[in-house]
Chains A and B, each alone.
Chain A
């Protein structure tokens, strides 16, 4: 199984197999788990790291969830392969930069487990759209299925023991990837971001920690993992996401009403650029695609076109563009190739009309 197989396989996030939603692109649950009695990956010696990887891969291979899935060892992949996996959010930058990390990915790509990242295991479940409970249920089942086999490090007082004090307890990070062009255009994003962080939620850019919010896409997640039950963590995040989605819709409707022709003009110009540009940088295409997504949500473009925009956001990332080309490209080469991929995909797009949503 190669990274190429993963890219060409249809999945929820790129092929509209799951329910697509206007504001929430995807829901993610991550559980940090460690094997009792083994040093954490950052402190383990090389033979120990190999042993950890073997034990975890074996246990995951026995799990029905990963039947006919992919086992990817970072040391055996090319730089480009690893970069693509990072862009897909299937592995983290940290895992990709080490030699002894591995990732086990389910056939449908909703479940992935990172091995030898900061913790021995990072169990991840991702669903397209906003499905907090459904995503959590899958993660919980996986956790329970793997636990007896792997014997997780656990203390009555501190819960699941992790390498970093910021994950101890539940080891749970629940997050939503949200598209907030309305709040960004209205200049409210900073205020929203501040309110969220004051109430214990982290707001990050599209590729997680330390990245910019390209395309008006943000990742919102819980920070506290100790002293709250999983249920309380999910309810807290869920309440805020509902609130943010509502505020985003208010901002969009207000903009559409107040701006009138200017609103549709902005979306139409973006389509124009995307359709005719010969060179497109990653940042420019993300920001213009964000406008197209907004146009689909608002009824300016047919809603069923939204998944094409979503796919271009993923496939327009630098490593994806190079993978498609079949090898490494310099920055100009990528911009040229990206523009041609986007142009081709948007050729049949109709002209944006007035908003109906």
Chain B
């Protein structure tokens, strides 16, 4: 039995099939119901989007110099080839990261010996807000403590 066509945007089974003929050139787009509704199946922009997604299937537009992994491989597997791939594909994956992670920057721990810059910056932001709150509440003891912490964080960040 033949495999059902997959949606050009999300890999679900496609139930909406569109064909566009422009100057004799036929473009076909297959969408699942959800993507068809979201994207507006009548919107011509869907063809451009689908073009961008389908086109690299012929020739990869991004290749990791370290391991030879391409954007086509990513589309097939949903996983990257090596840690260095993040340098090559990082920008292209920005939208996807926001979609699955809602954020694009690390604010957590770092390996031993590496300054946890993201964590320090994040704490600095929080401490600054907390200091403002403390001052507004006339909690000067708390504000002084936070001022010292901020100075310490700024120093650590300068040296990292």
Contacts and interface: CB of A to CB of B under 8 A. Distances in A.
A227 interface: yes
B4 interface: no
Interface in B96-137: 96-97, 100-114, 117-119, 122
A43 B63 CA distance: 14
Interface in A165-179: 165-166, 168-170, 172
A228 B108 contact: yes
Interface of B: 66-67, 69, 73, 77-84, 86, 90, 93, 96-97, 100-114, 117-119, 122
A158 B86 contact: yes
A228 B82 contact: no
A168 B97 contact: yes
Given A161-B86, A165-B93, A224-B101, A170 B80 contact: no
A169 B119 CA distance: 11
B104 A226 contact: yes
A226 B112 contact: no
B146 to A, nearest CB: 18
Contacts of A229: 107-109, 119, 122
A11 B78 CA distance: 37
Given A40-B81, A40-B82, A168-B97, 4 more contacts: A43-B67, A224-B102, A226-B105, A230-B109
Contacts, number: 119
B108 A230 contact: yes
User: Which are the 10 A-B pairs with shortest beta-carbon distances?
Assistant: A227-B103, A159-B106, A153-B83, A43-B81, A226-B101, A170-B108, A161-B83, A39-B82, A163-B79, A147-B111
A39 B68 CA distance: 10
Contact of B103 (A39, A152, A224): A224
A161 B117 CA distance: 16
Contacts of A169: 101, 103, 106, 108
Nearest to B86: A161
Interface of A: 34, 36-40, 42-43, 118, 140, 143-144, 147-148, 151-161, 163-166, 168-170, 172, 200, 223-230
A60 to B, nearest CB: 16
Nearest to B96: A165
Q: Which of A37, A144, A161 has the most CB of B within 10 A?
A: A161
Contacts of A170: 106, 108-109
Given A42-B77, A152-B111, A154-B114, A37 B106 contact: no
Contacts of B69: 39, 43
Nearest to B123: A229
The binding surface of chain B is classed by DSSP as loop
26 contacts: A39-B67, A39-B69, A40-B81, A42-B77, A43-B69, A43-B81, A143-B109, A144-B112, A147-B111, A154-B110, A156-B106, A156-B118, A157-B90, A157-B118, A158-B86, A158-B90, A159-B108, A160-B106, A164-B79, A165-B96, A166-B101, A169-B108, A170-B106, A226-B104, A226-B106, A230-B109
A33 to B, nearest CB: 9
B76 to A, nearest CB: 11
Contact of A227 (B81, B106, B112): B106
Given A36-B83, A42-B77, A154 B111 contact: yes
A158 B101 contact: no
Nearest to B79: A163
A226 B103 CA distance: 6
Contacts of B103: 169, 224, 226-228
Nearest to A120: B83
A164 B77 CA distance: 9
Given A154-B110, A154-B114, A230-B109, A118 B104 contact: no
A201 B84 CA distance: 29
A162 to B, nearest CB: 8
Nearest to A163: B79
A20 to B, nearest CB: 31
Contacts of B83: 34, 36-38, 40, 153, 161
A40 B108 contact: no
A42 B79 CA distance: 8
Contacts of A165: 80, 93, 96-97, 100-101
A157 B101 CA distance: 14
Contacts of B117: 156
Contact of A157 (B67, B81, B106, B112): B106
